[in-house]
Amino acid sequence: MNIKENISLKQYNSFGIDVKARYFSAFASTDELTELLDGSLLASSRPLLILGGGSNILFTKDFNGLVLKNELKGIELVKEDARYYYVKAYAGENWHQFVSYCIRNNYAGIENLSLIPGNVGASPMQNIGAYGTEIKDVFYALEAYHLKENRIEVFSLNDCAFGYRDSVFKKQYKGQYIILSVTYLLRKQPAFNISYGAIKQELARMQVQELSIKAISEAVIRIRSSKLPDPAQTGNAGSFFKNPVISQTEFNQLKQSYPAITGFSLNDEKVKLAAGWLIEQCGWKGYRKGDAGCYEKQALVLVNYGRATGQEVLDISNDIMASVIEKFGVVLEKEVNIF
């Protein structure tokens, strides 16, 4: 059991924020995890933080506890039937590399989720989604370790209570489990989802003659690369805010004052707004203060241009939220976890 002290977390978070963990270790097997959790250090070093790819987190100060890096690796075809492949991936696998693996093997269903940063373990935790696809659409089951009871439990689709960028692991079970692996239900016969106009346009630019999951993945990669910064070059956590959901009545009222406002009807009663559009209308797109700012190509993304502190990024996010409330009366919710 190798536990280090006063370790910089800069390389372990996509924002590149330079804070320290009082204690730090990693586990690559359940046996290693059990050994770490059984150690007396755990009780004396609360709080505990399980770290995956570090792509959905903003550190605002040193972490005075134990950080455990999830490095469980492996991908396997568990079973298959006439329609589906049941593909199990361990939580420490890089998400995009897993998507690429599935495309190479012609496992269909997650091609629209290409190039999303982070690891497999985070995918069900926040029900990641993009371009008309969410994890709940391809989810079969997951294994998670209960921290207090020291046992592995299996969660089904219903058990996870998936919502928009949400699950039981962000609400009532927050901090109680460590996700070990996720099994996905992937199609043998693709059901192509190109309902988002941007994908159709990109496929046309690519001059794709025959639609395939590989072509859709490539289109998504091109779209994301054109408007989102590479965390290896510019620190960021992707979309910082969720797209807000309001009532149809509220949307109709906003539409009268702002005819150009964009919204996607979820049902007869609810409409999802484009948070990026709201933020841009408030003048934040391209804003920079020191090394913290709002990305010039996508207002949903807050960035660290080099030496910004987490608090500086957080301050800008709070100012953005206040201005959106003032202008539109709409409350934005942070998608990124703040520590």
Q: What is the pLDDT of residues 86-96, one digit of tens each?
A: 999 999 999 99
Question: Is-catalytic flag, 187?
Answer: no
Task: Yes or no: say if 332 and 275 are a contact pair by the CB < 8 Å rule.
Answer: yes
pLDDT tens digits along 297-312: 999 999 999 999 999 9
In 3D space, the residue among 120, 9, 144 whose CA is nearest the CA of residue 66 turns out to be 9
Confidence (pLDDT) at 40: 53
State yes or no: is 151 an active-site residue: no
| Overall average pLDDT of the 120-143 stretch | 95
pLDDT of residue 115: 95
What pLDDT does residue 47 have?
A: 86
Those residues with Cβ within 8 angstroms of residue 108's Cβ, 6 or more apart along the chain or in another chain: 102, 186, 187, 188, 189, 190, 191, 213
* Mean pLDDT value across the chain: 93
Catalytic residue among 111, 134, 165, 167: 165
CB 69 within 8 A of CB 26: yes
Is the pLDDT at 31 greater than 80? The verdict is: yes
Exactly one of 45, 217, 239, 317 is catalytic; name it. Answer: 239
Tell me how far apart the alpha carbons of residues 122 and 139 are, in angstroms, rounded to a whole number: 13
The predicted structure's pLDDT at residue 37: 83
For 34-75, the pLDDT digits (tens) are: 888 876 555 555 788 999 999 999 999 999 999 999 999 999
Q: Does the structure show a pLDDT above 60 at 318?
A: yes
Q: Annotated catalytic, 83?
A: no
Q: Which pLDDT band holds residue 157 (cuts at 50, 70, 90)?
A: very high
Share of the chain above pLDDT 70, in %: 97
Q: What structural domains does the chain harbor?
A: 4-70 (3.30.43.10), 75-187 (3.30.465.10), 235-338 (3.90.78.10)
